[in-house]
Amino acid sequence: MSISRRTLVRNVGGLALGLGVSRLSRPAEAAPADFSFIHITDTHIQPELGATEGVHQAFEKIRQLKEKPAFALIGGDLVMDANTVSRKRAEMVYDLWQEAASSLNMPVYYTIGNHDAYALGGESKLSSDNPEYGKKWWLKRLSLANRYNSFDHKGWRFVMLDSVSIDEQGGWHGELDADQLLWLDNLLRKTDKNMPMVFLTHIPIMTLFGMYTEGTTKAVSSGLVVSNGKQFQEMIQGRNVKAVFQGHTHVVEECIYLGTRYITGGAVSGDWWKGYRLGVHPEGFTVVRAKGGEISHRYMTYGWKARTV
Ligand SMILES: [Fe+2]
């Protein structure tokens, strides 16, 4: 099959016109500006096992990065923990976290972890309508207005989800609730399909965790993965979602589906301050670089030596 000269000329002309327009007169469609940010998850700060010193050591390493991150995405499980402890203990571990977070000297954006909710049981159990129960404590301590939210930075849209569903008895599992999905649907409708997006969740939405810990035919429960992750994936399909940053399992893992990277970012605390998770995933955090509308990332350790071994 031959291409006529007229067709060729028209196509070449169109290409030339396209280049001219994108370079000279349509700056609004230029690739988003470059920047970097940090994904910090599962600090589990506490006085025991040297955890507070460990978090400060990790954050010192972040402060020393050559390229200063624009902000930090905080993946939850800030403290160890607030679920069933006394009011005094919950205040104390949150104070430790806030002191550490302020030392980062950068904006921080949060998703809740299952250990961050207060008074679900134990000696300080509160009724669910108490203004300090569960996630309401987390919102109050971090001065947050909503349990899920979004912000824009240099042409990118970042979305912080709430993946921790708490039941009447104070138990929890991974799920994105109906109100949140309605909010997300509205947000996606208002987002240009080409706009690069990044999501933040505590409990993973996609993971192979069960396959390499229990066996390749084993599925994980909603204690380890968001139960309606399939619904989330269908909602973002066709969108320009570059990454979903995840925590909770403390492993360093990446699954890519239809161009979306589901990145589980290890844990600052490693195996809850007792060494490497599964013996192979060290204490660390993820440095992310956004360049030309794409991301690259690397997991960085900070030289922590567990004090129990
Ligand atoms: Fe955790």
User: Domain spans of the chain?
Assistant: 32-301
- Residues whose CB is under 5 A from ligand 1 (ion)? 42, 77
Specify the CATH class of 32-301 in words.
alpha beta
* pLDDT (0 to 100) of residue 30: 58
Expressed in angstroms and rounded, the spacing between residue 176 Cα and the centre of ligand 1 is 18
pTM of the model: 0.90
14 CA distance to ligand 1 middle (Å): 54
Distance, CA 244 to ligand 1 centroid (Å)?
17
pLDDT score of 14: 33
Rounded to the nearest 5°, which phi and psi values hold at 113? -105, 160
Query: For each of the chain's 309 residues, which pLDDT tens digit applies?
Result: 333 433 333 333 333 333 333 333 444 455 668 999 999 999 999 999 999 999 999 999 999 999 999 999 999 999 999 999 999 999 999 999 999 999 999 999 999 999 999 999 988 899 999 999 999 999 999 999 999 999 999 999 999 999 999 998 999 999 999 999 999 999 999 999 999 999 999 999 999 999 999 999 998 999 999 999 999 999 999 999 999 999 999 999 999 999 999 999 999 999 999 999 999 999 999 999 999 999 999 999 999 999 975
Read out DSSP for 241-299? EEEEEE-SS--EEEEEETTEEEEEE-BTTTTTTSSSBTTTB-BEEEEEEEETTEEEEEE
Give the pLDDT of residue 16. Answer: 32
User: Could you tell me the distance, in angstroms and rounded to a whole number, from the CA of residue 44 to the centre of ligand 1?
Assistant: 7
pLDDT for the residue 212: 96
User: So what's the pLDDT on residue 29?
Assistant: 53
Predicted pLDDT at 32: 67
CA of 174 to the centre of ligand 1 (A): 13
Q: Which tokens sit at 235?
A: 């909602």
Q: Which residues contact 86 (CB under 8 A, 6 or more apart)?
A: 123, 124
- Give me ligand 1 centre to Cα 32, in Å: 33
Based on its alpha-carbon atoms, the radius of gyration of the chain, rounded to whole angstroms, reads 22
Task: Identify the helix (H) or strand (E) that includes residue 103.
Answer: none
